[in-house]
Amino acid sequence: MVIEITPFLDTNKKEPLYVQLYSYFKNEIQKGNMKTGEKIPSKRNLARHLAISQHTVETAYEQLIAEGYVESKPRKGLYVNEILQDSLLIHQSKPNVWDRSNHVENDDEIDFSHGQIALEEFPYNVWKKIANATFSKEQDYLLINGDRQGEFSLREQIAHYLYQSRGVRCVPDQIVIGAGTQYLLGLLILILGRQSIFSIEDPGFHRTREVFYDQGVTTIPISLDEHGMNVEELNKSNASITYVTPSHQFPMGIVMPINRRMELIQWAKEKKAFIIEDDYDGEFRYKGRPIPALQGLDSSGRVIYLGTFSKSFFPSIRISYMVLPPSLLQIYHERYTIYKQTVSRLHQMTMFNFMKEGHWERHLHKMRTTYRRKQKKLLEMIHFFLCKDVVVIGADSGLHILLSVHNGMTENELINAAKTKKVKVYPTSIYFATQDPKDQPMVLLGFGGLSEPEMEKGVKLLKEAWNIG
């Protein structure tokens, strides 16, 4: 299996990037987080993933080879070295479509929904084969209710994946699987206690806000600045829980920089508060270096990590999960395992087999390339056809962007004018709890489910509908 990694490389540090990268590998190998015989990423892939030069990676790798941490196998790549792995092991910190093709009918509706995924890339045959093999007479126990927390083997795979791809550090026991982020938030409110005071980004994810409202918990909106949630404002509030989307703020698309992440963690530490980190589409980052999840940066057990397969795989599978810090895990075990698992055991085990056989890693790699290409195309089209009359917001990652349109139309007028051309774009005002974004009307465009010709046609129609460009 090839390891994927997400270290934090800091250009402000005196230490050169290659030294930081070398130290990261060395540390992870010594701690046993990278295991004997695991393949480390190719120079090219890692340089692209971390947005650094191949030369930087090469220099770090040369040092690791020289010191014997990794070995080079001719024509195969670099592998974590056996002897060093075993002798230096200090501690185990981690136990271990339909084919839309290129054809667009003239009167097809172009739907820029952010809930769509690239159906044309779905691995139908592999999934069908694995689902069939999983659902066999020999596995008849799958017809009976399983572990309330979710299948252990799937949780193991998720823990491994989260560590490699998002820098999250957890053991499978900390993971609770559930049918969707909203369901898990409901459960989390029970664990945290309804008397707690919650806060949420404003603008922020309306479905989370609704869960807080429906559960009757006090909810304080906290405004954003260019780095994400305003921690000064959060500090002044009496909130003891905060919900954030740091990898790709929903809906504004802000990627929270490392300093703000550390401030947020500091707030939680000082106030003995909890951060709910919703990392719904953190796998898809197009610019800059990946920043590890808050959960991986926090050493005080103050972050609850929420993840989902809805964006990275497909939404109707309804497999989402949360990673509980030890103090909350204890409450969950004591009081809330009364609630049965909400995701079908068959789907969980199919997903497990899919991951175990290496298909998940391949699929994710493919989807990163696909969405990067789609986003690039969409931005090109916007720059070409809509030009200076629009500003693109939040294009560093994720499966949607925002367009601030400067033609005098209100948000409603923009949406309705697009509708007359059979193009669906989406409002952003619904995400604002207190402010009114009237002065700066913005619409949301998801691109995951559209083909390149569809996007091109859609943007051309928007130009006509909005009379700009």
Ligand X SMILES: Cc1ncc(COP(=O)(O)O)c(C=O)c1O
Q: Whose Cβ is closer to ligand X: residue 250's or residue 466's?
A: 250
Judged by CB under 6 A, the residue of 164, 295, 310, 428 near ligand X is: 310
Q: Is 205 in the site for ligand X (CB under 6 A)?
A: yes
CB of 417 to ligand X, least distance (A): 26
Q: Is 243 in the site for ligand X (CB under 6 A)?
A: no
Judged by CB under 6 A, the residue of 250, 305, 354, 360 near ligand X is: 250
Q: Is 180 in the site for ligand X (CB under 6 A)?
A: yes
The secondary structure of 214-260 as a DSSP string is HTT--EEEEEEETTEE-HHHHHHS--SEEEE-TTS-TTT-----HHH
* Stretch in the footprint of ligand X (CB under 6 A) among 38-46, 175-183, 297-305, 432-440: 175-183
d(CA 254, CA 263): 16
Q: Is 280 in the site for ligand X (CB under 6 A)?
A: yes
Q: Whose Cβ is closer to ligand X: residue 202's or residue 456's?
A: 202
Q: Whose Cβ is closer to ligand X: residue 165's or residue 310's?
A: 310
Q: Is 308 in the site for ligand X (CB under 6 A)?
A: yes
Instruction: Quote the Cα angle for 33-285-450, to 5°.
Output: 130
- DSSP classification of residue 336: I
Of residues 48, 45, 47, the one with CA closest to residue 56: 47
Three-class secondary structure of residue 440 per DSSP = coil
Q: Whose Cβ is closer to ligand X: residue 182's or residue 218's?
A: 182
Judged by CB under 6 A, the residue of 134, 165, 174, 245 near ligand X is: 245
End-to-end CA, the chain: 48
Query: Which residues, numbered 2-31, are part of the site for ligand X (CB under 6 A)?
Result: none
d(CA 424, CA 403): 13
Three-state secondary structure readout of 368-428 = HHHHHHHHHHHHHHHHHHHHHHEEEECCCECCEEEEEECCCCCHHHHHHHHHHCCEECEEC
Q: Is 320 in the site for ligand X (CB under 6 A)?
A: yes
The phi and psi torsions of 445 (rounded to 5 degrees) equal -125, 115
Of residues 343, 306, 308, the one with CA closest to residue 328: 306
CB of 280 to ligand X, least distance (A): 4
Judged by CB under 6 A, the residue of 156, 278, 283, 298 near ligand X is: 278
Q: Is 181 in the site for ligand X (CB under 6 A)?
A: yes
Residues that bind ligand X (CB under 6 A): 115, 180-182, 205, 245, 250, 278, 280, 308, 310, 315, 320
